[in-house]
Amino acid sequence: MNKAKRLEILTRLRDDNPNPTTELNFTTPFELLIAVLLSAQATDVGVNKATAKLYPVANTPQAILDLGLDGLKSYIKTIGLFNTKAVNTMKTCQMLVDLHGGEVPENRAALEALPGVGRKTANVVLNTAFGWPTIAVDTHIYRVSNRTKLAMGKTVDDVEQKLLKVVPKDFKVDVHHWLILHGRYTCVARKPKCGACIIEDLCEFKDKVE
Ligand code: SF4
Ligand 1 atom index nearest CA of 203: 4
Per-residue pLDDT band at 184 (split at 50, 70, 90): very high
**Is the CATH code 1.10.3720.10 the one for domain 29-128?**
no
| pLDDT on residue 45 | 96
Is residue 193 within 6 Å of ligand 1 at its C-beta? yes
Distance of alpha carbon 84 from alpha carbon 138, whole angstroms: 20
Task: Give domain limits for the chain.
Answer: 3-20+134-196, 29-128
Is residue 184 within 6 Å of ligand 1 at its C-beta? no
Distance 8 CA to ligand 1 centre (A): 14
The predicted model gives 92-114 an average pLDDT of: 98
What is the number of other CB atoms lying within 10 angstroms of the CB of residue 96? 23
Is residue 72 within 6 Å of ligand 1 at its C-beta? no
pLDDT tens string 72-90: 999 999 999 999 999 999 9
Percentage, residues of the chain above pLDDT 90: 97
- Among 1.10.1670.10, 1.10.20.140, 3.30.300.30, 3.90.850.10, name the CATH number for the domain at 3-20+134-196: 1.10.1670.10
Q: Is the pLDDT of residue 210 over 80?
A: no
Contacts (Cβ under 8 Å, ≥6 apart) of 147: 187, 192, 203, 205
Dump the DSSP string for 93-116. HHHHHHHHTTS--S-HHHHHTSTT
Contacts (Cβ under 8 Å, ≥6 apart) of 106: 126, 130
Q: Global pTM?
A: 0.90
> Annotated binding site for [4Fe-4S] cluster: which residue ranges?
187, 194, 197, 203
Is residue 149 within 6 Å of ligand 1 at its C-beta? no
| pLDDT on residue 143 | 97
Distance of alpha carbon 205 from alpha carbon 144, whole angstroms: 9
End-to-end CA gap in the chain:
22
Per-residue pLDDT band at 41 (split at 50, 70, 90): confident
Q: Looking at the annotation, which residues are catalytic? A: 120, 138
Short-list 185, 181, 194, CA closest to 148: 194
